């Protein structure tokens, strides 16, 4: 399970469900790899750092050498090392994932009642501020499944102990029993530390209520043999993604396409060579992915981008193409020719395939389409079967560099960066496409690129 506010950033995160098995068993490594593979494809067991979890409030800042280890005596972990994944396990306690998208820092906290009461939240945030210069107003928080006030009944001893403290205000009395509201306590700590309410997302799940999907220790107390193993735990994971760079050659094209296909499906952004300049390729039907393409390019939102399609059939799903226009397109495509066409209306009334092909980042009345003539991009379009964004890999208004190294240094931004780079060094062809307006009776060349068509 993933949280919306943590998605579509350069991070890996998630909470494992019971179906992946216990994250504290002997087979833990298998379970972890299986789960992390379901949310990302760039994770190894040696990159994961675990907190020992002693129901305290110590928070550890990870070093490179902590990968694959269990950090003793701590309930919280912080890292700014890309590729390192922080893990906390839980079965009723509150797993908390934290991300500072400006300074690229992540944290995972084991929010047990005791840890929360002894101040793990303000302690972790203070460390992020002092060590990484994080500003609380930028920080995003994700609250995972935990036992809620509907079921978190306080045992008599705990009740007596807390009765005389200020934490009494988190008591919820119901039918002669006292329950504890962990979320209210955590929320107070986040808000008083300066976190914005809109940046906090709670999954809303109670582990006791939803004990089939998330392990619940209290449920297990009541029904001891409910789970396959004793005292199982699910886990919350968070880590900064590393940008994967793959060198493309004729020999490895199919395996690189496979990785790129998966990246597109996960809403990731790829820098890849095309038959024109390097492009920023992403699923054009994925709203968040297209938004990130704009953020990476620092492009104005109302400036439309072009779309790559695999064939005329796909083009017809997006644009109005009559017989005459089709004839012209058959002359232009495949190749370095972008055609500006009338857009098909994306009305919600149509429950057809057209609706599934709703694309983003395009103009209100027109759409710029192209079937590229490039082995890698053609294969990628074929495999994903989705229109892809076809905009050049450069900052808006700046030149598109020829060599991948120059592109990477131009795009270098802490907050928004592509996820996958397909490297062919300096491609042979490096000219933008020619843009032809086909919306009027007479075709008109809007931009001269590598090839000039006879119209």
* Interface residue list for Zn ion (CB under 5 A): 148, 150-151, 206, 208-209
Cβ-based nearer residue to Zn ion, 122 or 204: 204
**Helical (H) or strand (E) element with 303:** none
**Helical (H) or strand (E) element with 342:** strand 337-343
Min. distance of Cβ 216 from Zn ion in angstroms? Answer: 9
Min. distance of Cβ 152 from Zn ion in angstroms? Answer: 8
Cβ-based nearer residue to Zn ion, 209 or 246: 209
Min. distance of Cβ 128 from Zn ion in angstroms? Answer: 31
* Backbone phi and psi for residue 254, each to the nearest 5 degrees, phi listed first: -70, -40
Rg over alpha carbons for the chain, rounded to the nearest Å, is 26
What span, in angstroms and rounded, lies between the C-alpha atoms of 16 and 228? 16
Residue matched to tokens 């098995």: 21
DSSP-derived 3-state class of residue 413: coil
Min. distance of Cβ 91 from Zn ion in angstroms? Answer: 13
Specify whether the CB–CB gap between 313 and 426 falls below 8 A.
Answer: no
**Helical (H) or strand (E) element with 30:** helix 28-39
Min. distance of Cβ 15 from Zn ion in angstroms? Answer: 16
Cβ-based nearer residue to Zn ion, 145 or 236: 145
Q: How many other C-beta atoms are found inside a 10 Å radius of the C-beta of residue 424?
A: 15
What span, in angstroms and rounded, lies between the C-alpha atoms of 150 and 180? 9
Strand partners, 14: 237
Min. distance of Cβ 149 from Zn ion in angstroms? Answer: 8
Length of the chain: 455
Please return the burial class of 342, using the count of CB atoms within 10 Å of its CB with bins 0-12, 13-18 and 19+.
Answer: middle
What span, in angstroms and rounded, lies between the C-alpha atoms of 168 and 171? 5
Cβ-based nearer residue to Zn ion, 132 or 171: 171
Min. distance of Cβ 335 from Zn ion in angstroms? Answer: 60
Cβ-based nearer residue to Zn ion, 211 or 378: 211
Min. distance of Cβ 11 from Zn ion in angstroms? Answer: 29
Min. distance of Cβ 235 from Zn ion in angstroms? Answer: 20
What span, in angstroms and rounded, lies between the C-alpha atoms of 332 and 130? 58
Cβ-based nearer residue to Zn ion, 154 or 381: 154
Cβ-based nearer residue to Zn ion, 150 or 455: 150
What span, in angstroms and rounded, lies between the C-alpha atoms of 2 and 13? 7
Min. distance of Cβ 205 from Zn ion in angstroms? Answer: 9
Cβ-based nearer residue to Zn ion, 170 or 278: 170
Specify whether the CB–CB gap between 433 and 337 falls below 8 A.
Answer: yes
Which position's Cβ is nearest Zn ion?
206
Cβ-based nearer residue to Zn ion, 216 or 286: 216
* Backbone phi and psi for residue 328, each to the nearest 5 degrees, phi listed first: -65, -45
DSSP-derived 3-state class of residue 275: coil
Cβ-based nearer residue to Zn ion, 181 or 406: 181
Return all residues near 60 (Cβ < 8 A) that are at least 6 apart.
51, 66, 71, 74, 76, 77, 78
Structure tokens at 228: 């396959």
């Amino acid at each position: 399970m993933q949280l919306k506010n943590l998605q579509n950033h350069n991070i890996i995160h998630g909470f494992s469900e019971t179906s992946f098995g216990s994250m504290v068993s002997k087979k833990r490594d298998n379970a972890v790899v299986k789960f992390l593979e379901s949310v990302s494809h760039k994770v190894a067991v040696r990159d994961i750092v675990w907190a020992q979890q002693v129901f305290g409030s110590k928070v550890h800042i990870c070093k490179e050498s902590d990968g694959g280890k269990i950090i003793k005596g701590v309930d919280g972990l912080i890292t700014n090392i890309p590729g390192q994944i922080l893990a906390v396990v839980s079965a009723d306690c509150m797993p908390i994932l934290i991300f500072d998208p400006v300074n690229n820092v992540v944290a995972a906290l084991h929010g047990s009642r005791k840890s929360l009461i002894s101040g793990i939240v303000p302690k972790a945030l203070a460390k992020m501020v002092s060590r990484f210069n994080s500003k609380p107003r930028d920080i995003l928080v994700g609250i995972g499944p935990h036992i809620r006030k509907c079921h978190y009944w306080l045992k008599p001893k705990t009740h007596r102990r807390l009765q005389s403290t200020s934490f009494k205000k988190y008591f919820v009395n119901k039918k002669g029993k006292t329950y504890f509201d962990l979320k209210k306590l955590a929320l107070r700590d986040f808000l008083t530390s300066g976190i914005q309410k809109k940046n906090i997302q709670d999954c809303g799940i109670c582990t006791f209520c939803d004990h089939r999907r998330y392990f619940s220790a209290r449920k297990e107390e009541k029904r001891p043999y409910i789970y396959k193993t004793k005292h199982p735990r699910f886990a919350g994971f968070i880590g900064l993604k590393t940008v994967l760079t793959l060198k493309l050659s004729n020999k490895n094209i199919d395996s690189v396409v496979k990785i790129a296909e998966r990246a597109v499906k996960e809403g990731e952004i790829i820098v890849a060579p095309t038959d024109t300049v390097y492009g920023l390729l992403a699923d054009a039907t994925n709203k968040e992915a297209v938004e990130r393409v704009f953020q990476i390019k620092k492009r104005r939102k109302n400036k439309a981008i072009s779309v790559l399609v695999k064939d005329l059939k796909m083009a017809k799903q997006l644009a109005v193409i009559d017989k005459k226009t089709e004839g012209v397109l058959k002359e232009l495509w495949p190749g370095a020719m972008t055609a500006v066409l009338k857009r098909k209306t994306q009305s919600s009334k149509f429950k057809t395939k057209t609706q599934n092909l709703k694309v983003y980042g395009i103009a209100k009345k027109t759409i710029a389409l192209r079937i590229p003539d490039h082995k890698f991009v053609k294969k990628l379009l074929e495999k994903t079967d989705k229109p892809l964004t076809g905009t050049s890999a450069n900052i808006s208004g700046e030149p598109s560099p020829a060599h991948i190294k120059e592109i990477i240094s131009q795009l270098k931004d802490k907050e928004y960066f592509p996820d996958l780079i397909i490297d062919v060094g300096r491609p042979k062809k490096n000219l933008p496409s020619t843009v032809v307006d086909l919306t009027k009776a007479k075709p008109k060349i809007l931009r001269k690129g590598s090839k000039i068509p006879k119209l």
